[in-house]
Amino acid sequence: MSFAVPPMGIVGLPVAGTDERFPVRRVYCVGRNYAAHAREMGFDPEREPPFFFCKPNDDASIVPVPAGSTATLPYPPLTRNYHYEAELVVAIGQGGRDIAAADAAAHIYGYACGLDMTRRDLQIAAREQGRPWEVGKAFDFSAPVGPITRRAQAPGVHCASIALDVDGTVRQQATIAHLIWSVDEVIANLSTLFTLQPGDLIFTGTPEGVGAVTPGQTLTLRIDGLAPLAVRIA
């Protein structure tokens, strides 16, 4: 087949303990899935149905970060309020539609640490005008992701601690058990809207404590049982 322009390559995330790569197909994100974060953003954390947005799946937006490495994220243009959001990322290994929550675990390949980097001022301006969030969420280098740990090797992830520090000071800290909608429930809900496929990633939401970062700062995200993720803002 002849293409008019070079086709986009597939982004591969490292798989912990192997030489394999996990191919990224789509990137889904859950909004406001921790009650305390919903409150800090000015919303009622009542358990309403989950809502979703997407990030690009290209190598401009997804930043694979190998174990032991610190990735460099350039400070993005047109923002003065560049925020981190620490998240558990779920990698889908088996596709499906209308998946029951009780069956969701069988569709998971593994888990990783991820950052939903956000141009908060652009996101809020778009929200207030009733416009989509893409300018605040779907820009270049907006989704660094660490190595994926396979599901069988992370049996305690659903109650694991999640913590993010900036230059050694803890800014976000919670447990995955504090999710309003659990991982299994998120998969069940998302699969009613889209047919999930192997290669899909789901950013499951961020705890309270989101905030701005500036060039020169280093962010480190740790989730018990998973490879940590480190990035530096340039």
Q: What is the pLDDT of residues 130-182, one digit of tens each?
A: 999 999 999 999 999 999 999 999 999 999 999 999 999 999 999 999 999 99
> What is the spatial distance between Cα 147 and Cα 66, in angstroms, rounded to a whole number?
6
Could you tell me which residue, 184 or 41, shows the higher pLDDT?
Answer: 184
Secondary structure (H, E, C), the chain: CCCCCCCCCCCEEEECCCCCEEECCCEEEEECCEHHHHHHCCCCCCCCCCEEEEECCCCCCEEECCCCCEEEECCCCCCCCEEECEEEEEEECCCECCCCHHHHHHHEEEEEEEECCEEHHHHHHHHHCCCCCHHHHCCCCCEEECCEEEHHHCCCHHHCEEEEEECCEEEEEEEHHHECCCHHHHHHHHHHHCCECCCCEEECCCCCCCEECCCCCEEEEEECCCCCEEEEEC
Confidence of residue 32 (pLDDT cuts 50, 70, 90): confident
pLDDT at 231 over 70: yes
- The pLDDT tens digits of the residues spanning 84-93 come to 999 999 999 9
pLDDT at 120 over 70: yes
pTM (two decimals)? 0.96
Q: What is the mean pLDDT of the chain?
A: 95
Which pLDDT score, from 0 to 100, does residue 5 have?
96
Q: Which residues contact 128 (CB under 8 A, 6 or more apart)?
A: none
pLDDT at 114 over 80: yes
- Angle at 43 (CA atoms; ends 42, 47), nearest 5 degrees: 155
Q: Mean pLDDT, to the nearest integer, of 115-143?
A: 96
- The pLDDT tens digits of the residues spanning 55-72 come to 999 999 999 999 999 999
pLDDT at 206 over 80: yes
Q: Mean pLDDT, to the nearest integer, of 49-55?
A: 92
Which pLDDT score, from 0 to 100, does residue 47 have?
65
- The pLDDT tens digits of the residues spanning 93-104 come to 999 999 999 999
pLDDT at 79 over 80: yes
> Are the C-beta atoms of residues 223 and 46 closer than 8 Å to each other?
no
